[in-house]
Amino acid sequence: MIAILKYNAGNTRSVYNAVSRLGYEVSISDDPFVLQSAEKVIFPGVGEAGSAMAYLKARELDLVIRELKQPVLGICLGMQLLCAYSEESNTEGIGIFDSQVQRFPGGYLVPHMGWNNCASLKGSLFEGLDLNADFYFVHSYYAHINADTVAAADYIVPFSAALQKDNFYAVQFHPEKSAQTGNLLLQNFLTL
């Protein structure tokens, strides 16, 4: 069973539908036992970092996430909350990735919304994908390129489009909205 983390952020239903279409049994839950016993955990999100992190901390789900041993995929806000810190609402993250998340510089059209290609693809998430694969992005904050970066993109500044460390994977884009390319990435994650 694939668990999708419920934590007061949007987009869980879109991710649920995408994973279900790939033929997997899916549960949306904030129950620690469900998360710990799932084959894989997906940490999606559309929303605001401060209130989302407050929900996680109030239920001690931040501690549960840190201890998960199965593959975990953070998507968009989920990726940002797996980082150490976000400028959005001055939010301390879960700290899986030692990265700072900051807002795109002023004076430009934000949020970054639409299709963008990714470069420097590395690792099993991107197996079988074009070296300059396009994904769908919607975000105003980004993680810097760092030692855990396995894909990069550029909008105003270069940023981490994907991170990976141990059993934790994270993408800034929305694979569930990225057509066939996104389906292949999700399938790669679900078969790790």
Q: Which residue in the list 76, 88, 112, 118 is annotated as catalytic?
A: 76
Q: What beta strand segments (E) does the chain contain?
A: 2-5, 26-29, 40-43, 72-75, 83-86, 91-92, 97-103, 112-117, 134-139, 141-143, 149-155, 157-165, 168-171
Q: Which residue in the list 83, 88, 112, 174 is annotated as catalytic?
A: 174
Active-site residue, 174 included: yes
Q: Which residue in the list 83, 112, 118, 176 is annotated as catalytic?
A: 176
> β-strands 149-155, 157-165: how paired?
antiparallel
Distance between CA atoms of residues 66 and 82, nearest Å: 9
Whether residue 18 contacts residue 183, with contact meaning beta carbons closer than 8 Å, is answered with: yes
Active-site residue, 118 included: no
- b/e code 127-153 from CB counts within 10 Å (16+ = b): eebeeebbbbbebebbbebeebbbbbb
Show the tokens assigned to 44.
Answer: 């999606």
Active-site residue, 176 included: yes
What residues are annotated to the active site?
Answer: 76, 174, 176
